[in-house]
């Protein structure tokens, strides 16, 4: 159990009973809970005793493909038709899609109402739970429309992780791995030779990962500098994920980021920041735990074109956050199209 202080709010980890007490202190006019079909069935029961009988449940369809303006409009209309006012509060019970989308709707409805995040996936607990990034996708460009807005609180229950499929463990572990590679060499060395993800001490890993991200976010809340290091693996990863969204061959965010980290570590090697041995260790770790998704890689030209829409870019130049050694990361690095192609080929060959 732990309480981590962030940007004007607290993150409660496995603090039993704290949600009910917190809601009582806020005294909202009405409580809304945004869920998808999975979290309504599997997670809602665990917080129902903390909610009043008149709480309104808003269910949306799961999946990144539904993180759109149309789904946002459905939530806004549900709030409107059920009498939400500016003293109402939204509880977002779900993974990253629910947190991003429900938070975005809260931040924009009536110019902003309060919200609480209750992340249920490992990915959401170690990533989206911290930092106040909210948004939706547009034309398959991830989170291209959004705002920064902090929640009233975040409540994390690592017991939710026990019921998630292995694929979702992989997706969340990608962000844990990212935090180790950019900020904690000792943790990378401790876990780099593991063979599978099922029996890891997630109560410990989740808290450690949140503390790493929170330390960065506290120094740079709106990603004007240092916070960009949290995008390691995401420039290439987001491009691949977005291109595959509507193809019937979509991959998880974690798979995409894992591929991105392998490729961007190779870019760091080409630029002289890490050794070939270190790059191979990262690649071997990812291929062992995530499998080799080389058949999922779109055409390099399409990936490079998609990266031109990345939010970190400056004056049309693609910017990367790259390792500057294991446990250290820099930002605003550039690479040529040919270097990017080489990094993609290096992942695809896997040898």
Active site annotation includes 341: no
Question: Is 167 one of the annotated active-site residues of the chain?
Answer: no
| Three-point CA angle 70, 73, 77, nearest 5° | 145
Is 238 among the residues known to form the active site?
Answer: yes
- One of 227, 266, 283, 293 is an active-site residue; which one? 227
Number of helices (H) and strands (E), helices first, in the chain? 13, 11
Query: From the candidates 234, 266, 283, 285, which is the catalytic residue?
Result: 234
Give the pair of three-digit tokens for residue 322: 């790259």
Residue of 142, 238, 266, 333 marked catalytic = 238
Long-range contacts of 199-207 (CB under 8 A, 24+ apart): 200/173, 202/122, 202/158, 202/161, 203/13, 203/14, 203/158, 205/126, 205/176, 206/13, 206/122, 206/125, 206/126, 206/156, 206/158, 206/161, 207/2, 207/4, 207/13
Catalytic residue, candidates 231, 266, 285, 293: 231
Known active-site residue 231:
yes
Determine whether 213 is an active site residue: yes
The catalytically annotated residue of 207, 223, 241, 324 is 223
Check 40, 175, 241, 264 and give the catalytic one: 175
Interhelix angle for 234-244 vs 337-349, to 10°? Answer: 70
| Best CA proximity match to 35, nearest among 50, 15, 16, 57 | 57
| 86 is annotated as an active-site residue | no
Which strand (E) or helix (H) includes residue 145? strand 141-148
Q: Select which of 27, 49, 111, 351 is catalytic.
A: 111
- Could you confirm whether 253 is annotated as catalytic? yes
For residue 320, give every residue at least 6 positions away whose Cβ sits within 8 Å of its Cβ, in sequence order, or none. 235, 264, 267, 312, 331, 333, 334, 335
**CA–CA separation, 5 and 15 (whole Å):** 14
Q: Which of 114, 142, 213, 283 is catalytic?
A: 213
179 tagged catalytic: no
Q: Which of 67, 179, 253, 285 is labelled catalytic?
A: 253
Share in percent of the chain as helix, strand, coil (round to 5): 50, 15, 30
Provide the b/e sequence for 109-132 (b: ≥16 CB within 10 Å): beeebbbbbbbbbbbbbbbbbbbb
Angle, vertex CA 178, rays to CA 131 and CA 289, nearest 5: 130
Which one is catalytic: 133, 140, 178, 285? 133
- Whether 234 is catalytic is yes
Instruction: Specify whether 92 is catalytic.
Output: no
DSSP code, position 314:
B
Catalytic positions are: 111, 133, 175, 213, 223, 227, 231, 234, 238, 253
């Amino acid at each position: 159990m732990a309480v981590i202080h962030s940007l004007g709010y607290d993150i409660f980890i496995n603090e039993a009973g704290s949600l009910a007490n917190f809601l009582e202190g806020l005294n909202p006019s009405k409580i809304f809970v945004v869920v998808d079909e999975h979290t309504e069935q599997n997670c809602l029961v665990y917080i129902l005793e903390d909610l009043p009988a008149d709480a309104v449940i808003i269910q949306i369809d799961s999946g990144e493909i539904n993180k759109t303006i149309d789904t946002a409009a459905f939530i806004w209309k549900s709030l409107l038709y059920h009498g939400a006012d500016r003293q109402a509060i939204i509880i977002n019970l779900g993974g990253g899609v629910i947190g991003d989308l429900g938070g975005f709707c809260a931040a924009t409805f009536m110019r902003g109402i309060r919200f609480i995040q209750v992340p249920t996936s490992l990915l959401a607990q170690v990533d989206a739970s911290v930092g106040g990034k909210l948004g939706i996708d547009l034309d398959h460009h991830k989170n291209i429309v959004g705002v920064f807005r902090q929640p009233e609180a975040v409540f994390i229950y690592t017991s939710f992780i026990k019921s998630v499929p292995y694929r979702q463990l992989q997706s969340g572990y990608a962000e844990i791995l990212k935090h180790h590679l950019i900020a904690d060499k000792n943790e990378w060395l401790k876990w780099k030779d593991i063979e599978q993800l099922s029996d890891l001490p997630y109560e410990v890993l989740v808290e450690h990962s949140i503390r790493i991200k929170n330390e960065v976010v506290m120094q740079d809340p709106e990603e004007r500098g240092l916070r960009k290091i949290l995008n390691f693996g995401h420039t290439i990863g987001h491009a691949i994920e977005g291109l595959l969204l509507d193809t019937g061959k979509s991959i998880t965010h974690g798979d995409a980021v894992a591929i991105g980290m392998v490729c961007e570590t190779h870019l760091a090697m080409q630029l002289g920041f890490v050794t070939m041995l270190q790059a191979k260790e990262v690649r071997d770790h990812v291929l062992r735990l995530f499998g080799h998704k080389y058949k999922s890689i779109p055409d390099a030209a399409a990936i490079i074109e998609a990266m031109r829409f990345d939010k970190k870019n400056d004056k049309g130049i693609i910017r990367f956050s790259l390792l500057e050694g294991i446990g250290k990361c820099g930002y605003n690095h550039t690479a040529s199209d040919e270097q990017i192609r080489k990094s993609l080929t290096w992942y695809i060959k896997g040898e």
